[in-house]
Structure 1
Amino acid sequence: MSKKWLLSLSFAVLVFVMVACGDEDETAEDNNETEEPEMEEPAEQPEMPEPDLEGVPDVVAEVNGEEIPRDEFEATYQGQFQQAMMQAQMSGQEIDQDQLKEQVAESMIGTELLVQEADNAGFDASEEEMDETLDELIEMNQLESREEFMSAMEQQGMGEEEVMDQVELQVKLDKLITSEAGDTEPTEEEVEEFYEQFAAQQEEMGGAEGEEVEVPSFDELKPELEQELRNQKEGEASQVLVENLREEADVTNHL
Structure 2
Amino acid sequence: MKSTKVAAIGLLAIALGSAPALASSTDWFETQGGRVRLVTSGKPDANGQLHGILDIDLDPGWKTYWRDPGDAGVPPQLDISASTNISSAEFDFPAPQHHDDGYSKWAGYDQSVALPITFHLKAAGEPAMIDAHVFLGICETICIPVSTKLLLDPASDPDNADDAALVSAAQEALPAAEQPDFNVKIVSKDEKSLLVEATFPGNPTSADFFIAGENGYSFAAPKRVEKDGRTLFSVEILNRPAQAPAEGGLHYTLVSDAGSVSGILPYM
State the TM-score, normalized to the length of structure 2.
0.25
Greater helix share, 1 or 2? Answer: 1
Greater strand share, 1 or 2? Answer: 2
Structure of greater Rg: 1
